[in-house]
Structure 1
Amino acid sequence: MAQSITLKANLRKSIGKSAVKKLRSKDKIPAILYGKGTSVPLEILASEFKNLFHGKRIEKVLLNLEITDAQEKKSTLAFLQQIQLHPLTDKLLHLDLHELSADEKVHAEIDLIFTGEPQGLKSGTANLDISLRRIKISCFPKDLPDSISVSIDHLQTGESLHVGDIPLPPGVESLSPKNQVVLSLVAAKGGEEEQAAGAAETAEPEVIKEKKVKAEESSQ
């Protein structure tokens, strides 16, 4: 299950450039919560937002959004859709949030965590060529994983792992093409070939020596 964070917000009554400018001067971020055919203006405390999201990837975080309107409070599930930053100072300017329902599937990009070590890597005769570190998935909010673990112990030199080979958690569907290459185990330059050549060179003098002995025996 992906990380879930409770974020507090207030309903924003004033809109327009001057209202937004005044809001930012008070350490608040203007935001919009988009739902099915609706858009609700909100304001969120900038310092609280920064503390909550420090070191986190926004597309992997589910929000328990607590919205206060005067004395009334409402809780809803949401995703951060977009963050607007100042191009020079990186100051938070605006947030777009997407309201979710428990029966609505979400789309997200999830990290692949590779575990294990193929024999070719252990022996130094092969290298791992990684083409894809994240895949696109679809699932209900409750099934959203933090990451997907992929074992690569079984890979033989020359083999590739495709998206369709990845075992997915229950309730998770891949949106990335099944035939897309995730990684390949490729022979290291001078690895297996040099070992084979070295073995042949070692064996060759023994054959020559044997022939020489036979020739000497026949001449006696």
Structure 2
Amino acid sequence: MAEIVIEAEPREVGSSNTARRLRREEKLPAVVYGGDKGSHAIVLSPREIISILTSESGQNTIFKLKVAGGSEDNVMIFDVQIDPITHRLIHADLVRIALDVEIEVSVPLQLSGEALGVTEDGGVLDHSLRELVVSCLPTDIPESIDVDVSELQMNQSIKVEDLAVPPSVTVVTPPDSSVASVVPPVSEADLEADLGLEGEEIEGEELAEDAEEAPEKEGEATEAEETEDELAPE
């Protein structure tokens, strides 16, 4: 894979107005830190960061950061901020890395195959763990880890300890964590019970019965009043 190089410029830390102005100019405020060089505010192209985030290796991509008039470092994207309204990228955190020092990263788990418990028994495949935390050298980070579910039968599960990972990778996620399982489909009755609909129906029936009894009680009260009037002395 060809080396990715992104150029950046130093940035003076200012107000939120300064950050908005930079974004209007299609420049992304960012910060780079880690190692023994301290933290530095920079500005770079948002398109290049988006291109990395949408690549196959995504946030685990290692790239070269060249800061004008300054240093040149191997970095990764540590975090990004997205505007909740416009969904635009508004800030990025980059972390310096040493290629000869192991780091912990999250690697996507990709399911493959059709589970027997689904195709033959009508079960439902539950993909409960979507990322695996591993420790390895930056150059050994896998893009993803394949999980073959084709032999998975009803009420069976695949755990982290069952996964095939590269020998250069150490798994950090607990080994007994469930990755995927085949479970029986949820019936309509079970779903209603889970949602509390059954209790609501019973409560509704009780209210309806109370409403039907109310006129009868009112009628009984009226008859009693009339009887009292008839027996009252003139």
Q: CA deviation at 1:86?
A: 3.2
Q: CA deviation at 1:175?
A: 1.6
Q: Distance in 1 between matches of 2:113 and 2:130?
A: 16
> Unpaired runs of 5+ in structure 2?
188-234
Identity across the alignment (%): 28
- More helix per residue: 2
Q: Distance in 2 between matches of 1:139 and 1:187?
A: 38
Q: CA deviation at 1:19?
A: 5.0
**Which amino acid in structure 1 is aligned with residue 60 of structure 2?**
K
Please give the root-mean-square deviation of Cα atoms over the aligned residues, in Å.
Answer: 2.9
Q: Distance in 2 between matches of 1:49 and 1:109?
A: 19
| 1:101-152 CA distance string (max 9 Å, x none) | 0122222222212223343333235432322122222211111111101222
Higher relative contact order (CA 8 A, sep 6+): 1
TM-score (norm 2): 0.66
- More strand per residue: 1
2:8 is the counterpart of 1:34: no
Q: Distance in 2 between matches of 1:184 and 1:91?
A: 36
Give runs of ≥4 in structure 1 deviating > 6 Å. none
Q: CA deviation at 1:11?
A: 2.7
TM-score (norm 1): 0.70
**Counterpart contact for 1:59–1:109, Cα < 8 Å:** no
In the other structure, the counterpart of 2:67 is: 67
**Aligned partner (choices 147, 151, 161) of residue 164 of structure 1:** 161
- C-alpha change, 1:53 and 1:88, in structure 2 (3 Å) is same
- C-alpha change, 1:4 and 1:185, in structure 2 (3 Å) is farther
**Counterpart contact for 1:124–1:188, Cα < 8 Å:** no
2:171 is the counterpart of 1:174: yes
> Unpaired runs of 5+ in structure 1?
191-220
Q: Distance in 1 between matches of 2:160 and 2:153?
A: 17
In the other structure, the counterpart of 2:127 is: 130
Q: Distance in 1 between matches of 2:21 and 2:120?
A: 63
**Rg larger in 1 or in 2?**
2
